[in-house]
Amino acid sequence: MNNNATDFQTLTFEIKDNIGLVTLNRPESKNALDLPMRADLTKVILDIRHNKDIAALVITGSGGAFCAGGDLKSLSEARRPTTTNRTRIQDLHLWFRELVDLELPVISAVDGPAFGAGFNLALAADFVFASPRARFCAVFGRIGLVPDLGGFFLLPRIVGLQAAKDIVFTARTLKPEEAKSLGIVREIVPEDDLLAHAMAFAGQFKSASRDAIGMAKTILNKSSELDQRALSEMESYAQAICLDTEYHYDAVSRFLKKEPLKFNWDTEKIK
């Protein structure tokens, strides 16, 4: 696929050699999530979902920040009825659930602050790469709020219940080393190399089966909610589909002929 770029009001989206790149682009507000950005994210995630040529997705921010969270300026402009506030939060999940369940590898490249909803946006990725100046914070408690944008779902599944309580109750800032020790961050990369490294990592999935990874991701995302019988049923249906794909037939043929497989992480190297 040829490289191309699409401009939105608050972000940019481009495809580089079958890897999607979403860049949050409100540097004047540290890429805070306002209503136009939410609308742009809704559109771009649905576009990515339906584009079968995209092998993996990288999400990053511009201007030395990932995302500072919700736009407090827009939130404070007028006091709204409680039911309106509830609807606004519910509407977040129209696109956020699509991102969490996007059936391809998602990588977040975090430079600078990932605070509040921005922290949870980073957690929505399957892999998080951070620069040394990255900072993570469930900042909601500092302003008398509870985590939103999927924080209650994502954080305890990644770090465990007790660590999640620590992070949420204290609303303290995590440096990348601690975030890595908790399993939030996969790798710490110098800021000048961060995006290139994340894109190269994403590129290693170009030769993988998007169908197999996508179905595995969907089942893994449900693995803590379902019993063994339900997971066994999901497994059987997914495997039946995968067994009948051209990708699988080709892989078996390569194996029997002692030819290299198209996808073998052990032999792949990040360029």
In sequence order, what DSSP letters do the residues of 175-232 get, joined into one string?
A: PHHHHHHTTS-SEE--TTTHHHHHHHHHHTTTTS-HHHHHHHHHHHHHTTTS-HHHHH
Return the pLDDT at 267: 85
Backbone angles phi and psi of 104, in degrees to 5 = -160, 165
Return the pLDDT at 48: 95
Return the pLDDT at 2: 43
3-state SS, residue 247: helix
Amino acid at 116: G
Q: Name which of 34-43, 100-109, 153-162 the model is least confident about.
A: 34-43
- Domains of the chain, CATH where assigned: 4-203 (3.90.226.10), 210-267 (1.10.12)
Question: pTM of the prediction?
Answer: 0.91
Give the residue from 226, 170, 174, 210 showing the smallest Cα distance to 55: 210
Rounded to whole angstroms, how far apart are CA atoms 137 and 114? 7
Helical residues (DSSP H) of 101-150, grouped into ranges:
117-123
Return the pLDDT at 77: 60
Across 90-96, average pLDDT: 80
Give the residue from 134, 257, 250 showing the smallest Cα distance to 198: 134
Model confidence at 96: pLDDT above 70 = yes
Return the pLDDT at 1: 40
Rounded CA Rg of the chain:
19
Contact in structure between 123 and 161 (CB atoms under 8 Å):
no
Residues in the chain, total:
271
Give per-residue pLDDT as tens, 117-168: 999 999 999 999 999 999 999 999 999 999 998 999 999 999 999 999 999 9
Give per-residue pLDDT as tens, 55-72: 999 999 999 999 999 866
Q: Please, what is the average pLDDT of the chain? A: 92
